Amino acid sequence: MVTAVAIFSVMDTAMKLLAARYPAMQVTVLRSFSSLPLVCAWVGYRGKFPTLLRVHWRLQLLRGALGIGMLTMFAYALQSMPLAETYSVFFIAPALITALSVLVLKERVDGMQWLAIVVGLVGVLVVLRPEGTSFISVAGLAVLGSAACYAVSAIASRILSRTDTNEQIMFWILVMMGCGALPLAWSGWVPLRLEDWPVLATLAVSGFLGQLAITRAFSMGKASVVAPFEYTALAWGVAIDWALWNTLPDRWTVVGATIIIASGVYLARREAVHKEAEHP
């Protein structure tokens, strides 16, 4: 998981560099189609091409639509927000997933877990609105929207994993995001510059390897143990912001991120306790 987070930080950096020069919807298309050849090669190596059409189409389409919203809003936010601040707000996703699991999956969430969710939301407010000036920023709200799309997609993935394989899920999410976003991006399409091709290649490789690493992480260990390591992304975000843009997070970002991360770690551990109680 630590490796996956590091690779995804490289991917997000490439997206941020591209988002400074291209529309957010176009960045979504580039993210989707750039990794697709590598995923196709992997699916072929695994001998899974004959099974690609035997999937749960409604959930696959839903995840494709959510993926377009998630990536586009995330890319839009990256145009004006540092990586560390963007990650800090996005970290609310685990709390949203826990809340949605009650509504959709009918999972049991106790009072302490609901309290942790509320605390996580307070952490988001600390990051976005310590002085009442940045809460209304479109970029900040875009990150929240992106996290919400990710949370709904994660719930859909839990259901989808009961019937579809990892190869099917990886292949169709990229195809649907790319094909769905391309018509929306076409009218404002900006021709790719020659000097941006290395960034695009980095985006392709990091997106593919990061997905493989995170899939491997969750297949090897319990989600409650593995998931908290996602928060190492904040360290990478701070380091990359400082190295490339000479930017460091302010105190409110650090305080808010600490609150959100503490909430997320608590929720992961609490979920593990519940599962052990149900299946001793």
C-alpha span between 233 and 130 (Å, rounded) = 23
Q: Find where tokens 């988002």 sit.
A: 19
C-alpha span between 27 and 31 (Å, rounded) = 6
Q: Are 76 and 139 in contact (CB under 8 A)?
A: yes
Question: Which pair of tokens denotes residue 78?
Answer: 């990256």
Residue 42: the pLDDT is 95
What residue type is 28 in one-letter code? T
In sequence order, what DSSP letters do the residues of 40-91 get, joined into one string?
A: HHHHHHTT-GGGTTSS-HHHHHHHHHHHHHHHHHHHHHHTTS-HHHHHHHHT
pLDDT (tens, 9 = 90+) of the chain, 280 residues, equals 999 999 999 999 999 999 999 999 999 999 999 999 999 999 999 999 999 999 999 999 999 999 999 999 999 999 999 999 999 999 999 889 888 888 888 877 888 989 999 999 999 988 887 565 545 688 999 999 999 999 999 899 888 988 999 899 999 999 999 999 999 999 999 999 999 999 999 999 999 999 999 888 877 777 667 878 889 999 999 999 999 999 999 888 999 999 999 999 998 888 777 666 666 6
How many Cβ atoms from other residues are within 10 Å of residue 154's Cβ? 17
Question: End-to-end distance of the chain based on CA atoms, in angstroms?
Answer: 26
CA-to-CA dists, residue 198 to 4, 79, 220, angstroms: 21, 19, 33
Q: Find where tokens 């695994």 sit.
A: 46
pTM of the model: 0.91
Checking 258-263 for CB contacts under 8 A at 24+ apart, the result is: 258/123, 259/119, 259/120, 259/122, 259/123, 259/126, 260/88, 260/91, 260/92, 260/95, 260/120, 260/123, 260/124, 260/127, 261/91, 261/231, 261/234, 262/119, 263/95, 263/116, 263/117, 263/119, 263/120, 263/123
Residue 39: the pLDDT is 96
Residue 104: the pLDDT is 86
Residue 225: the pLDDT is 73
Residue 268: the pLDDT is 83
CA-to-CA dists, residue 202 to 31, 45, 61, 147, 198, angstroms: 10, 22, 27, 24, 6
Residue 280: the pLDDT is 60
Q: Find where tokens 């090669």 sit.
A: 41
What's the CA angle centered on 271, arms 270 and 277, to 5 degrees? 90
Residue 165 exposure: Cα atoms within 13 Å on the Cβ side: 13
